[in-house]
């Protein structure tokens, strides 16, 4: 009998369940639903060039972005796998303007699922790694069907979050508040097997990740921060620059090797004055995972997990990775970007209307 313990997602949750009552059978099922969704989406991404699923659809999402066929396929897959299980009281997707109700003929449950079905869409047609991001909140309202109150919760209250990377291998990384754990899909048995237990971000960072093409639009503080990371203004070793253009892939590499990813405010683009990342579908999940792995995620002013969301599709500036590197960015912003902080503050403290 092989000495290596074969740990599936279910076995891992059940083992965690012993010492953490928060991981329940319902929760195991929800993670398994995400794993099944991942396997179906992975199958399509590896065949995308052969099954006519490449390219853009004729539709656009709420951000005005042209939806890729795989965006829509992934979105529909996650909805169909989760709509009938009785585990959820509502869903919300980056690709849908409003809350997605559980169909009336299905039971509802005590969790809310938020997801970015396909992250890194611009990379689909050029065979670069893409992903799926998901986050799970607990229902807090009294209504059987989830409401905005159940969805627009601060990241601090997340029950779980995770992502899938469709890359050289298909990996699922999640945390239920007890560390970050990575599972790699073994296609020969169709199971995600534990491959990276209790991931901790290395204390010494190797990389920084940002779209340097936007540098002229960043605030002065973020421009100085970027030069500092590159060792331009003082005698320090530069960090390597790696930018894939899929948040999931850039985040995952930094999680394993140490680093910082940032997508700051864009002072020229009125549609994205406070960055491109979506708080509910991308930033909250990454902030939760980063903190569980010993890192930190800031909007430039403070912890993203403490932000009270006011809108389902609000964007947020994000600097995420090694805590010392993220806090350095906050220091540059405090020193050089008073005008930006003043302009951002009313949005940062806006309250939801429910
Ligand atoms: P999505 O495909 O879900 O819209 O996400 C794309 C995001 C994120 O994955 C990535 O880090 C970022 O957009 C890249 O943006 P730029 O192309 O503007 O750098
Ligand atoms: Mn995305
Ligand atoms: Mn997306």
Residue 3 lies in a domain: no
55 and 153 together in one domain: yes
Backbone angles phi, psi at 57, to 5 degrees: -90, -175
| pLDDT per position as a tens digit, 49-68 | 666 667 777 788 888 777 77
The finding on whether 121 has its CB within 6 A of some atom of ligand 1 is: yes
Residue identifier of the C-alpha nearest atom 14 of ligand 1:
245
Q: What are residue 133's DSSP bridge partners?
A: 116, 163
Residue 2 lies in a domain: no
Q: Are residues 62 and 120 located together in one domain of the fold?
A: yes
- Confidence class for position 48, pLDDT limits 50, 70, 90: low
Residue 156 lies in a domain: yes
Per-residue pLDDT tens over the stretch 111-157: 999 999 999 999 988 889 999 999 999 999 999 999 999 999 999 99
Whether the model clears a pTM of 0.85, i.e. scores above it, the answer is yes
Secondary structure of residue 318 in the 3-state scheme: strand
Contact 283, 316 (CB under 8 A): yes
**Alpha carbon of 129 to ligand 1 centroid (Å):** 12
Look at the chain and report how many structural domains it folds into. 2
Domain ranges, residue 233: 207-348
Last residue of a domain, one of 149, 168, 196: 196
**Alpha-carbon distance 265 to 348, whole Å?**
13
Pocket test for ligand 1, best of 114, 216, 247 (most atoms within 8 A of CB): 247
Do residues 155 and 23 both lie within one domain? yes
Is residue 183 included in any domain, yes or no? yes
252 CB within 6 A, ligand 1: no
The residue among 137, 163, 196 that closes a domain is 196
What are the backbone dihedrals phi and psi of residue 87, each rounded to the nearest 5 degrees, phi first? -95, -20
**C-beta of 129 in contact with ligand 1 (< 6 A):** no
Q: What is the pLDDT of residues 253-290, one digit of tens each?
A: 999 999 999 999 887 777 778 889 999 999 999 999 99
End residue of a domain, out of 171, 196, 221? 196
Question: Could you tell me if 162 and 226 lie in one domain?
Answer: no
Q: Which atom of ligand 1 is nearest to the CA of 261?
A: 11
| Average pLDDT value over all residues in the chain | 92
Q: CB of 150 closer than 6 A to ligand 1?
A: no
User: What's 158's domain CATH number?
Assistant: 3.30.540.10
The answer, yes or no, to whether residue 32 has pLDDT greater than 50, is yes
- Distance from CA of residue 285 to its chain's centroid? 4
In this structure, the answer to whether residues 19 and 135 fall within a common structural domain is yes
């Amino acid at each position: 009998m092989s000495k290596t313990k074969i740990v599936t997602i279910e076995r891992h949750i059940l083992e965690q369940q012993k010492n953490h009552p928060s991981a329940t059978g319902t929760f195991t099922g929800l993670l398994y639903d995400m794993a099944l969704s991942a396997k179906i989406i992975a199958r399509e991404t590896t065949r995308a060039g052969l099954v006519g699923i490449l390219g853009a659809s004729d539709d656009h999402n709420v951000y005005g972005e042209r939806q890729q066929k795989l965006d829509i396929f992934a979105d529909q897959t996650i909805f169909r796998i989760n709509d009938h299980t009785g585990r959820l009281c509502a869903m919300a997707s980056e690709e849908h303007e409003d809350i997605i109700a559980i169909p009336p003929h299905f039971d509802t449950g005590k969790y809310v699922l938020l997801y970015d079905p396909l992250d890194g869409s611009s990379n689909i047609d050029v065979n670069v790694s893409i992903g799926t991001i998901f986050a799970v909140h607990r229902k807090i309202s009294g209504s059987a069907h989830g409401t905005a109150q159940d969805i627009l919760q601060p990241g601090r209250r997340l029950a779980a979050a995770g992502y899938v990377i469709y890359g050289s291998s298909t990996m699922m990384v999640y945390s239920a508040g007890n560390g970050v754990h990575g599972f790699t899909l073994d296609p020969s048995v169709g199971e995600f097997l534990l491959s990276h237990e209790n991931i901790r971000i290395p204390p010494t960072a190797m990389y920084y990740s940002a779209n340097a093409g936007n540098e002229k639009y960043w605030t002065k503080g973020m421009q100085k921060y970027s030069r500092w990371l590159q060792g331009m203004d003082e005698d320090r070793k530069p960090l390597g620059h790696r930018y894939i253009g899929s948040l999931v892939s850039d985040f995952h590499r930094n999680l394993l090797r140490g680093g910082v990813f940032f997508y700051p405010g864009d002072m020229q683009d009125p549609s994205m004055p406070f960055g491109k990342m979506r708080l509910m579908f991308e930033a909250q999940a990454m902030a939760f995972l980063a903190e569980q792995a010993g890192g930190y995620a800031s909007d430039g002013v403070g912890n993203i997990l403490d932000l009270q969301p006011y809108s389902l599709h609000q964007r947020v500036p994000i600097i995420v990775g090694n805590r010392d590197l993220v806090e350095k960015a906050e220091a540059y912003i405090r020193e050089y970007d008073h005008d930006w902080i003043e302009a951002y503050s009313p949005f940062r403290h806006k309250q939801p209307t429910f």
